[in-house]
Chains A and B, each alone.
Chain A
Amino acid sequence: MELCLDSSAETESKLSFEEIYIKNRRLMMYTAMNILNNFADTEDCVSEAFLRFSKNFSKYSQLDCPKMTSLLVIIVRNAALDKYRENQKICLSETPDEDVGAVSLDSYSFDSVISAIKHLKDEYRDVLMLRYVYGYNINEISMLLKIGSENVYKRIQRARKALAKILDEGGGKK
């Protein structure tokens, strides 16, 4: 593994883009390969992910190592999913959805919420991560995932709705 094993030491000196690339490329390849099972497409996705990452490198390079690696995995996973759909000729346009109200998580235990998040589809979990853990705004998420701002809103709404559904159905224990 070329991941950052000592994150505290790594964050003290900011990594260059090249170092980040060397450290993370194999994991990214692995992630995309699991989805696409096609080497050429996987390489395209990884290079695409790095290109998106490079566009706001100065900001992302401030992240600590686990978050940075996870961010790269999120980007490449979504790029791979897009590629997969393209290959399957599945055109999933994010159509407007019914309004989703706020999801109250107060009545569920913390563990059940974690469990429910793990049950979420990758793309839903990713968009929630980007919004709430990384704190990125809609435009930034839109740029990272290469989807429109409107679709980012919708995807976040759907993710929250899906999370509520999993919790309601007992995916998370009360």
Chain B
Amino acid sequence: MSKDILKDALEEVLSESYDEMTGLDIPDYDFSDNFKEKMEALTGVPEEKAEKKRRKIGWIAISALTAVAAAVCIWNGVQKTPELKKFNSDTDNIITDTELPTEVPDVPGGIVRTTAPGTDTKYTVTTTAGFGTPITSTAVINGNGNNGNNNANNSGNGGVVYTRPSGKPAQTPKVTVTTARSSDPAAVTTVTSATKQPVVTIVTTKPHSEFDEEVAHVERSIVMKKFLASAVTIAFMNVIPTGLVQASYEPPTADPVLLEYVFPLIEDGTASPDVNNDGIFDRYDVCDLWAYIMHNDSMITEAEKEVISTRSDIDLDLRTRANDLVILERYYLYKNGLDPEDFNMYNYPDNNGEITMDSYKFVNDLKEVAIEQDLIYQYTANLIDTENIDLDFNRNGSADIYDLLEYQIYFYSKISSPFDSNAAKAVVSISASTWDNCDEYYQKCFFDNESNETLIKYFIYKNGFDPSYVDSWSIYDYLEDLENNLPEGADVESIKYAMSRASHLDVFVANVSKISIDAGFLKVVDKMDKINRMLEPNYMEDLEAACKIFDKRMLNGEVAPPDINFDGVIDMEDYKDIMIYCNDLVAQRDSSGSVLTPEVWNHIDNELDLNSDGVSGDMLDLQIVEFVITKYYENEDVDVNALLKAYNDAHSTDNSNIEAVAEISHIKYLEALNGKPIKRSGDADGDNQMKMNDAVLIMQSISNPDTYELTEWGEFNADVANTGNGITPMDALGIQYRLLEK
């Protein structure tokens, strides 16, 4: 409240002060020549800068890779205690070295790892894990190594009751891990029955184990690879709206070959999916086949291998190979849909009952298939609808695209410091309440660990598409506003350092674009193909032929000489224009971001098909222009300008209009390209002269900035080479050239 009063009062004072200033009687000052010169130089600068800003979109795309690379370095550099949250939830509440009581106390949000030494014990742990629809899992481990009961069924309310088949000869029942979600107060862990009360060691107290860290590290690597991929996507993707504003979601269908030929073989019993021969087809068949194919001896025994080797030829090609696993994974998910327990790595211990990286790897592998079949999206979207989950994370009254942007900020910070919410929270530009709301979603929809991609997809299909969703400027401005409105005392530098605005911008726009393309709202236009034309093996031959043909047609008056900028003259300015266009393509700039006028840019882009191959402005067309200019520029034998005039006279009905257009666009072009005349004086040391010591000072300021610092005006004056690009050794060289010319 104080802040609001202060702001209002300050505004009042500012307004009064302005009124006072307007009433002042200010004398006319006779400014010195030096001052006038300085200001003359300066008044040309900002317009140029404004022009540069208009081109910033292109720059943003190009800088994406750098920004992302930096982000990755930072990511790796600031590794804090990682965690894989998804399936083992919260590890803070683990109890250790305690005798298992008859009733295990409630451990909300905790993991209870029970170790029962002894060979003939059997006990059951029941866990209720709440995330939307509660899931109840009952794990029975038969310690004597004999095959126990093995069944699986889905309860009507979305819960699942299963028992882990032992299937592991001479295996000691060692580990049962049950997970209760901390966000659900109803989450309870209780021992419901035990055929024999064993002495059980319940391990923990460590906030997180080395295993958790290892898993989290892998998890984070996967996330960052996707992050990189997204950024790269936007850097090389040129998309335009298709005009579609609403689309309905169509779930992907399974591979038709599998559907028509392979799955029927399984259905009719020709091929059995029960590869471990325990009587039922369940997740453990998939896991065992995965371990067999991967030669993972720690997860299956020799005896199991024997069984699997005789039963795993799913595709009936008389051998067991990866294709059998590919089929089995897909068939399992095709038949069962998404059951979160299938992706709980703690369901897949090794032969010693331990959960290892292999457990995680299998789950991850299966998850890839689920992603491929879009099951995670379908599951999460259903959860959002049925649970009425509020996606208005910033609680501004509407769940809009910016909520998803803020969720992205939350997600990447969360995954960087999963064990330390306070540390993660301190380096984000979103508010604490937004963080909490995002966290609530993260806890509820824990299965969706695809950053904000699922949310974007849900949002786009639900609300339709608007081009502003991929408008980099809007997104950039929003991110900037977030940073500008940080609460007092926020660690601004850390927030900006942790994840740059540019990185978030690129990833967000890339994700929205990618999903919008899939939904049909956007289509990809790859202008780089125009440049890549020159990489084709027969390019040089094509070019030679195209130049010959064009030359002949031009001299015959069949086609006009390429007057790129419509100024009526074929000269080096035309050549410059095609080079600028070429650079624009590489930098992913369109006409709005180019220094060329829209008329010129669009002319090259759409109407300059000089070799009649159906593509305008590709490398062949550009090099034909180059050929014509270099061949006929100031050529005494052929006046190409006369040819142009003759062609225009013959083909135009309104020459005056063409000339007027040409004049206007050329002037605009020159203004845009050159800006106002700015000549920097080169006077780096401020002694009103340009001498060799200015060049020396520039080099010193670059090599030893702590000792030799240029003043602001010195920096301004010294920027003689590539003006606007800052101080570089080229400026020192530029000054030396100027001195030589004197």
Residue on A with the closest CB to B481? A135
Residues of A within 8 A of B21 (CB): 1, 3, 27, 69-70, 73
Q: Please name the residue on chain A nearest to B715 by beta carbon.
A: A51
User: In the complex, A57→B52 CA distance in Å?
Assistant: 12
**Is A84 part of the binding interface, using a Cβ–Cβ cutoff of 8 Å?**
no
Could you mark each residue 309-340 of chain B with 1 if its beta carbon is under 8 Å from any beta carbon of chain A, else 0?
00000000000000000000000000000000
Residues on B with C-beta less than 8 A from A113 are 5-6, 9
For the complex, give the distance between the alpha carbons of A106 and B8 in Å: 13
**B3 / chain A contacts, CB cutoff of 8 Å:** 132
CB contacts (< 8 Å) of A125 on chain B: these are 10, 13
How far is the CB of B39 from the nearest CB of chain A, in Å?
A: 6
Whether the pair B14, A70 counts as a contact (CB closer than 8 A) is yes
Least CB distance, B19 to chain A, in whole angstroms: 9
Give Cα A105–Cα B29 distance, bound, in whole angstroms: 43
For the A-B complex, the count of residue pairs with Cβ-Cβ distances under 8 Å equals 132
Would you list which residues of chain A between 76 and 135 have a CB under 8 Å from chain B?
A: 102-106, 108, 110, 113-114, 117-118, 125, 128-129, 132-133, 135
Determine the residue in chain A with the shortest Cβ distance to B23. A1
Say yes or no: B35 contacts A137, CB within 8 Å.
no
Instruction: Given A106-B2, A138-B492, decide whether A66 and B14 contact each other with a Cβ distance below 8 A.
Output: yes
Shortest CB distance A76–B (Å): 12
| CB <8 Å contact, B7 and A27 | no
Give bound CA distance, A110 to B9, whole Å.
7
B49 A135 Cβ-Cβ under 8 A: no
Q: Is B650 located at the chain interface by the 8 A CB criterion?
A: no
Q: Is the CB of A117 within 8 A of B13?
A: yes
What mask results when residues 1 to 45 of chain A are scored 1 for a CB within 8 Å of chain B, else 0?
Answer: 101010000000000111001000111011000000001100100
| Contact between B12 and A57, CB atoms less than 8 A apart | no
Residues of B within 8 A of A70 (CB): 14, 17-18, 21
Tell which of B204-212, B468-476, B483-491 binds the partner: B483-491
- Digitize B697-718: 1 where CB-to-A-CB distance is under 8 Å, 0 elsewhere: 0000000000000001100100
Closest to B34 in A: A43
B24 within 8 A of A: yes
Beta-carbon contacts under 8 Å, A128-159 to B: 128-129, 132-133, 135-139, 149
B residues near A40, Cβ cutoff 8 Å: 32
Q: Mark A44-67, 1 if CB is under 8 A from B, else 0.
A: 001110111010011001000011
Interface residues on B, range: 35 or more
Q: B6 near A128 (CB under 8 angstroms)?
A: yes
Contact-residue bracket for chain A: 35 or more
| Contact partners of B713 in chain A: CB under 8 A | 47-48, 51
B18 close to A128 (CB less than 8 A): no
Q: A114-B13, A128-B10 are in contact. Are A46 and B35 (CB under 8 A)?
A: yes
The yes or no answer to B635 lying at the interface (CB within 8 A) is no
Write out the residue numbers on chain A whose beta carbons fall within 8 Å of the beta carbon of B15.
Answer: 66
B737 interfacial by beta-carbon distance below 8 Å: no
- Asked if residues A58 and B716 are in contact (CB atoms below 8 Å), the reply is no
CA distance A113 to B3 in the complex (A): 12
A98 to B3, CA, bound (A): 21
A18 touching B14 in the complex, CB below 8 Å, given contacts A26-B28, A73-B21, A106-B5? no
Which residues of the other chain, A, contact B14 by a CB distance below 8 angstroms?
66-67, 70, 129, 133
> Given the complex of chains A and B, what is the CA–CA distance between A104 and B2 in angstroms?
6
Q: Which of B22-41 contact A (CB under 8 A)?
A: 22-24, 26-29, 31-32, 34-35, 38-39
B382 interface residue per 8 A CB criterion: no
Contact in complex: A21, B43 (CB < 8 Å): yes
B26 touches A132 (CB 8 A): no
A136 to chain B, nearest CB (A): 8
Do A137 and B483 contact each other (CB < 8 Å), given the known contacts A17-B43, A57-B49?
A: yes
Q: Of the candidates B45, B53, B492, which one forms a contact with A137 in the assembled complex, judged by CB atoms under 8 Å apart?
A: B492
Q: Which residues on the B side are within 8 Å of A136 (C-beta)? A: 484
Partner of B45, one of A17, A133, A163: A17
Contacts of A61 in B (CB 8 A): 46, 50
Decide yes or no whether B42 CB sits under 8 A from chain A: yes
Query: Are A105 and B31 closer than 8 Å at their CB atoms?
Result: no
Nearest-neighbor residue (CB-CB) of A5 within chain B: B22
A3 to chain B, nearest CB (A): 5
| Structural contact, A47 and B8, CB atoms closer than 8 A | no
B42 adjacent to A54 (CB under 8 Å): yes
Whole-angstrom distance between the Cβ of B327 and the nearest chain A Cβ: 57
Contacts of A30 in B (CB 8 A): 24, 26-27
Q: Does B1 contact A (CB under 8 A)?
A: yes
Establish whether residues B50 and A58, one from each chain, have CB atoms under 8 Å apart when the complex forms: yes
A54–B493 Cα distance when bound, in Å, is: 24
CB-based contact B26/A1 at 8 Å: yes
Instruction: Given the known inter-chain contacts A1-B24, A69-B18, A73-B21, please indicate yes or no for A105 contacting B42, CB distance below 8 A.
Output: no
Whether, in the assembled complex, B634 has its beta carbon less than 8 Å from a beta carbon of chain A, the answer is: no
- B25 — nearest CB in chain A belongs to which residue? A1
A136 to B30, CA, bound (A): 34
What are 13 pairs between A and B in contact, CB < 8 Å? A25-B31, A43-B34, A48-B712, A51-B716, A54-B45, A57-B45, A57-B50, A58-B49, A102-B2, A105-B2, A106-B1, A135-B484, A137-B492
Q: B residues near A, CB below 8 A?
A: 1-3, 5-15, 17-18, 21-24, 26-29, 31-32, 34-35, 38-39, 42-43, 45-47, 49-50, 53, 483-486, 492-493, 712-713, 716
Known: A57-B45, A128-B6. 12 other contacts (CB 8 A): A1-B26, A25-B29, A40-B32, A43-B34, A58-B49, A66-B14, A66-B15, A106-B5, A113-B5, A117-B13, A133-B7, A139-B492
**5 closest A-B pairs by CB:** A57-B46, A17-B46, A113-B9, A43-B35, A66-B18
